[in-house]
Amino acid sequence: MSCCKEPCHGGIDFTETPVAELYGSNCFSNAVMRERLPKDIYKEIVAVQNGEKELTLAAAEVVAASMRDWAIEKGASHYTHWFHPLTGLTAEKHDAFISPTGDGRVIMEFSGKELVKGEPDASSFPSGGLRATFEARGYTAWDVTSPAFLKQDPTGTTLCIPTAFISYYGQALDKKVPLLKSIDALSRQAVRVLRALGNESCKRVFTTVGPEQEYFLVDKKFYDERPDLILTGRTVFGALPAKGQEMEDHYFGAIKERVAAFMRELNTELWKVGIPAKTQHNEVAPNQFEVAPIYSNSTAAVDANQMVMETIRTVARRHGMEGILHEKPFAGVNGSGKHNNWSMATDEGINLFEPGENPESNARFLLFAAAVVEAVDRYALLLRASVATSGNEYRLGANEAPPAIVSIFFGGPLTEILDNIAEGKTGGHTPTGEKIKLGVTSLPSLPKDVSDRNRTSPFAFTGNKFEFRMVGSTQSIATPNTYLNAAVAQVLQEFADKLEKAADKTEAVQSIVKESYAQHRRVVFNGNGYTDEWVREAERRGLPNVKSAADALSVLVQSETIALFERHGVLTREESESRYHIYLEKYSKQVNIEAGVTIDMARRYIFPAVTAYAASLAGDAAALAAIGASNVSQAKRTKRIAELANELYEETARLETILAEAQAAGEAFAQAKAYSGKVRPAMDLVRAKADALEKMVAKRAWPFPGYEELLFKL
């Protein structure tokens, strides 16, 4: 279905195609299946989605035929099993629906076997040693919990079927399989706890996620003139203009018409595939923005977020812009994150983190809240590892994102309640009906939430969900949610073991909450996480502060982590170890590319431009001297530029030497440490010289668009 008569460039007429009709028009959702499938088949699919039974081939055949007809009606000629390899991106191999008939014609076919199973080449995807390069076979398996959708572009329409990706021997080669297993693990333990609390009807607990996506927009003509943005996603050089973000005038400011047109089309494309994009606004840094969806089940949310990132880039190019998702594309202004709003809900629609009117007497809420506190404290290193990437290393702890210290925020009232329980006191009350009275008759009284918000907290409670704020903007949210689910599942298992043995459940709940929170409340911090005082206080509390990605990733091969994953069937030892090596190698490769681009831009672009400019200044000075004039300031400027150019040359040569040493560092961890501890500081020194030169060289002589163009011109 087209949203308008003309190609979408922001001029969308929602009176012609209302949003309610547009929404989900390119998504093979449960609503579409309910309409197109026989009732018994639809019920079977829902049961499979709920984990109540396995999918039969007979049902798959019916779904495949219906899915094929629906896709062809909408212009699709090909289908693809769309999956999440360990690159962190998505992958797809397109197959046509056609099948030759033998008489020179074709019919459009798509079988249940083709829906359920695909066979892409597994040899070229990262496997961390799970597969040798000569072992090519891999399988994709239909993920029934996430809806199929259509991708449309000028070349045609493709049916995308979300799938898992495994090796010939069943090992997970993707991010989806561990996520699905972690959801099952969490559900098993949460249901046990609910049974112990007297809920006999709940069969399954789901995790829900709503990832807020931050990004920058840059005019495409400026982007195309920056090799660093093209090759690394960030600027390795760039002097700050006279104005940055210090005026705080961009945050929630009026959206420029060009950007509004982009956002309008972005929403349309997302709505068409059933992604509930809800909120959009200007972010803190110039030319930085955010889009946020309504949260949905975790697997669908993971798929949707990958599509959000892809669609940002695609739609931006239609509007003559480039969407930049890197965590720190511009030095000196805020970077981009992806706040992961995570919660748990039963199949009966009960949010397990809903405090209710009287949180202090809500045993279920207190029990599950205490479980999260304990999980965050015990597995802080694992949560830190889940966001350990090269890009995020530039952002965390930079007064724009949470510190590398993992802590949890509850706010004063809820913390008081939990503290009182831990200390055996009575009292502490959070009245949810409290109003904020503004004292102006023309303004209404506002209902007050149970807690404030804390933008400096890595893991903040925000009403009825937890916001994991450390996730990087380019990351797949699958890994952070997998690790979080596994950690909470472990604590809930221990809670369930105690509850099931207890004769008095009420007393057992009180005892568990008291003991757990008293032991782990060191991780609760409601203050400003950006301050040096908090760093010192966290050290006093014994909280880890792991600053480098390489050190953070080490937890993946520790015996406690491997035991956790194996206990809950999330990852095997081999799968955990493979991810450790893949993520270290990816880190090193990313920094290696950045260093190479730094050297290339310094030598091939900046140094020639600067020396030519210095020569022109010297020529001007000679011309002045020939006619008896004098220009002392120009001579000094020429000298300083020449000095900086020499220093730039020397620092670039030094970086090249250090880079070669890092490349020869040997095993993966040592190499990543060398890139983190030696190569990146050397890159910073090269940048300092180049950025100083940019401030001294005439604008016309500098070889690249500067931050003024990149950040302020749209």
DSSP code string of 288-313 = EEEEEEPPEEHHHHHHHHHHHHHHHH
What letter does residue 147 receive in the DSSP assignment? -
Cβ-contact 73, 154 below 8 angstroms: no
| CA atoms of 174 and 479, how far apart (whole Å) | 10
Beta bridge partners of 459: 408, 468
- The answer for residues whose C-beta is within 8 angstroms of residue 479's C-beta and 6 or more apart is 175, 178, 386
Give phi and psi for 507, each to the nearest 5: -65, -35
**Residue 146 maps to a domain:** yes
Query: What is the separation of C-alpha 204 from the centre of its chain, rounded to a whole number of angstroms?
Result: 26
Q: For residues 473 and 561, state if they share a domain.
A: yes
| CA atoms of 50 and 144, how far apart (whole Å) | 10
Q: For residues 536 and 607, state if they share a domain.
A: no
Q: For residues 243 and 139, state if they share a domain.
A: no
CATH number of the domain enclosing 666:
1.20.120.1560
Q: For residues 654 and 550, state if they share a domain.
A: no
Summarised one tens digit per residue, pLDDT across range 349-370 is: 999 999 888 888 889 999 999 9
| CA atoms of 397 and 199, how far apart (whole Å) | 42
Q: For residues 204 and 106, state if they share a domain.
A: no
Summarised one tens digit per residue, pLDDT across range 655-670 is: 999 999 999 998 999 9
**Residue 397 maps to a domain:** yes
Mark which of 174, 201, 220 sits at the end of a domain.
174
| CA atoms of 541 and 625, how far apart (whole Å) | 69
Q: For residues 543 and 667, state if they share a domain.
A: no
**Residue 687 maps to a domain:** yes
pLDDT attached to residue 10: 47
Nearest to 310 by CA among 164, 71, 92: 92
**Residue 26 maps to a domain:** yes
| CA atoms of 467 and 209, how far apart (whole Å) | 9
- Specify whether the backbone of 20 is left (phi greater than 0), alpha (psi in -120 to 50) or beta: alpha
Nearest to 328 by CA among 388, 263, 393: 393
| CA atoms of 475 and 211, how far apart (whole Å) | 11
Full residue range of the structural domain in which residue 522 is found = 184-571
What does the block give as tokens for 531? Answer: 């301050």
Any idea of the CA torsion for 381, 383, 388, 394, to the nearest 10 degrees? Answer: -100
| CA atoms of 378 and 544, how far apart (whole Å) | 11
Q: For residues 347 and 398, state if they share a domain.
A: yes
Q: For residues 190 and 230, state if they share a domain.
A: yes
pLDDT attached to residue 435: 54
| CA atoms of 159 and 150, how far apart (whole Å) | 5
Give pTM, 2 decimals: 0.92
**Residue 4 maps to a domain:** no
Nearest to 535 by CA among 402, 378, 415: 402
pLDDT attached to residue 619: 77
Nearest to 30 by CA among 74, 58, 66, 75: 66
Cβ-contact 306, 84 below 8 angstroms: yes
Sign of CA pseudo-dihedral 696, 698, 699, 701: negative
Nearest to 470 by CA among 405, 556, 536: 405
Nearest to 177 by CA among 579, 556, 558: 579
Specify the number of domains making up the chain. 3
What does the block give as tokens for 395? Answer: 């952002």
> Which parts of the chain have pLDDT scores under 50?
1-10, 436, 446
Cβ-contact 481, 299 below 8 angstroms: no
- CB atoms inside a 10 Å sphere around CB 355: 23
**Residue 334 maps to a domain:** yes
Q: For residues 425 and 514, state if they share a domain.
A: yes
Q: For residues 198 and 111, state if they share a domain.
A: no
Secondary structure (3-state) at 629: coil
Q: For residues 284 and 138, state if they share a domain.
A: no
The residue whose two tokens read 């220093």 is 647
Sign of CA pseudo-dihedral 152, 156, 159, 160: negative
What does the block give as tokens for 140? Answer: 């994709």
pLDDT attached to residue 680: 97
Query: What is the separation of C-alpha 70 from the centre of its chain, rounded to a whole number of angstroms?
Result: 31
- The answer for residues whose C-beta is within 8 angstroms of residue 709's C-beta and 6 or more apart is 219, 222
CATH number of the domain enclosing 58:
3.10.20.70
Mark which of 571, 605, 620 sits at the end of a domain.
571
Cβ-contact 341, 467 below 8 angstroms: yes
Nearest to 512 by CA among 344, 368, 297: 368
Residues in the chain: 714
Q: In this structure, are strands 435-436 and 408-409 parallel, antiparallel, or unpaired?
A: unpaired
Q: For residues 396 and 502, state if they share a domain.
A: yes
- The answer for residues whose C-beta is within 8 angstroms of residue 14's C-beta and 6 or more apart is 22
Tell me how far CA of residue 477 lies from CA of 147, 250, 340, 460, 481, in angstroms. Answer: 18, 27, 7, 17, 6
**Residue 500 maps to a domain:** yes
- Tell me which H or E stretch contains 19: helix 19-22
- The answer for residues whose C-beta is within 8 angstroms of residue 312's C-beta and 6 or more apart is 213, 215, 266, 291, 323, 325
SS3 assignment for 663-684: HCCCCHHHHHHHHHHHHHHHHH
**Residue 179 maps to a domain:** no
Residue 145 CA neighbour count, 13 Å, CB half: 25
| CA atoms of 363 and 197, how far apart (whole Å) | 9
pLDDT attached to residue 1: 36
Mark which of 174, 198, 217 sits at the end of a domain.
174
| CA atoms of 661 and 657, how far apart (whole Å) | 6
- CB atoms inside a 10 Å sphere around CB 654: 13
| CA atoms of 405 and 407, how far apart (whole Å) | 6
| CA atoms of 12 and 315, how far apart (whole Å) | 14
pLDDT attached to residue 5: 40
Nearest to 202 by CA among 105, 347, 320: 347
CATH number of the domain enclosing 497:
3.30.590.10
Q: Which amino acid is at 496?
A: A
